[in-house]
Amino acid sequence: MAAAAEKLHLDIKVIEALESDRFAELGASVYVRGHLRRYADFVGEPGVELVNTYSARAEARPPPPDLTQIPQAERRADPRRLVTPLVGLGCALVLALAIWWVLAGSQSAAPASSGPAPSNEAASAPATSPAVPPARPAGAPNAASTSPAPSPTPVSTPAATEPASTAPREEAPPVRATRLRLELSNESWVEVYDSRGQRLFYDVAGAGSVQSIEGRPPLRVVLGNAAAVAVQVDGQPRDIPSNALDGEGARFNVSRSGNLSRAR
């Protein structure tokens, strides 16, 4: 088992899963078929028959149950949810009654007496004429003419404040989408994600197909059969880095400049 893992450049857990028919631990079916074919060639068995047997078993497997169709019991209303509104309403009523009682008591305690009425004598008294000032003797100076005029007080006007000039903000240029083109000479599993982790493609691409994908860089790409996929970025062919290969598959990133690097 260790010799097979070393020869095929696979983890020993993958060999154990193949020999124990625990195919669910190997991921998608395209990975399982690839591992079966390589392991069969290593032990000298016909790989095509093993792959066909696995495919027949996978197609005959019943679909997983739909958990959304399980009936659920109706939720009963919690009577305790009405306690808090009722308590708040009672407190508001008590507070309103207390305010009304205080205001009613203050109004009843205020005196209702008005000012004294004017007497009849004051009302019947004749109006007195204004006193006439005594005549000013000739040659007396006029006080109004000799008094100096008050000097006007200077009024200071505040200096007008100039509005602070605000420099216009420079908007960041929008990020250009990267165009990824995958040409498949054979069937391969393909996964593509953008910089926000949004899945752009997640399926088995057929032989002879061309997949054109656009997304916000950097893009993360997972291939199940890297040897069967030709990669182009923005119309330029790119080679998959050797350190990004994982057995038959590959995992790599596509930067904004279109360069490919190993995905961590």
pLDDT tens digits, one per residue of 68-90: 655 565 666 666 777 788 888 89
**What local confidence, expressed as pLDDT, does residue 147 receive?**
46
pLDDT for position 158: 47
In this prediction, residues 29-44 reach a mean pLDDT of 74
Q: What residues contact 261, with CB distance under 8 A and at least 6 apart? A: 241, 244, 252, 253, 255
Q: What is the pLDDT of residue 42?
A: 72
Fold classified for 178-262 = Immunoglobulin-like (2.60.40)
- Taking the C-alpha atoms of residue 181 and residue 213, their distance in angstroms, rounded to an integer, is 6
79 vs 12, residue with greater confidence: 12
Which residue type, as a one-letter code, is found at position 12? Answer: I
Residues 6+ apart with CB under 8 A from 218: 178, 195, 253, 254, 255, 256
Whether the Cβ atoms of residue 230 and residue 251 lie closer than 8 Å to each other:
no
pLDDT at 77: 62
Task: Please compute the mean of the pLDDT values over residues 135-152 and round it to a whole number.
Answer: 48
Compute the average pLDDT of residues 52-64: 65
Residues 187, 227: contact at Cβ < 8 Å?
no
pLDDT digits (tens, 9 = 90+) for 221-245: 999 999 999 999 999 999 999 999 9
Check residues 143 and 18 and name the one with the higher pLDDT.
18
Does residue 95 carry a pLDDT above 80? yes
**Residue 23 phi, psi (nearest 5):** -70, -20
Distance CA 247, CA 176 (A): 33
Percent of the chain with pLDDT over 70: 59
Neighbours of 195 (CB within 10 A): 15
At 7, the pLDDT band (50, 70, 90 cuts) reads: low
In this structure, are residues 252 and 261 in contact, taking their beta carbons and an 8 Å threshold? yes
**What mean pLDDT do residues 85-109 have?**
86
> What gap in Å lies between CA 177 and CA 125, rounded to an integer?
102
CA 111 to chain centre: 66
Q: Which residue is listed with tokens 């009963």? A: 76
Examine the pLDDT at 216 and tell me if it is beyond 90: yes
Does 200 or 136 have the greater pLDDT score?
A: 200
Residue 130's pLDDT is 47
Position 32 scores a pLDDT of: 77
3-state helix, strand, coil in the chain (%, to 5): 35, 20, 45
| Nearest Cα to Cα of residue 175 among 193, 195, 192 | 195
Under a CB-based contact definition with an 8 Å cutoff, are residues 234 and 264 in contact? no
Looking at the chain, which residues constitute the CATH 2.60.40 domain(s)?
178-262
3-state class (DSSP) for residue 74:
coil
Q: What's the mean pLDDT in 154-178? A: 62
Which helix (H) or strand (E) segment is 43 a member of? Answer: helix 29-43
Average the pLDDT over 114-123 and give the result: 48
End-to-end Cα, the chain, rounded Å:
28
> Has residue 256 got a pLDDT over 70?
yes
Q: Based on the number of CB atoms within 10 Å of its own CB, is 201 exposed (0-12), middle (13-18) or buried (19 or more)?
A: middle
Q: What whole-number distance in Å separates Cα of residue 232 and Cα of residue 82?
A: 64
Q: Give the whole-angstrom CA distance, residue 14 versus residue 38.
A: 12
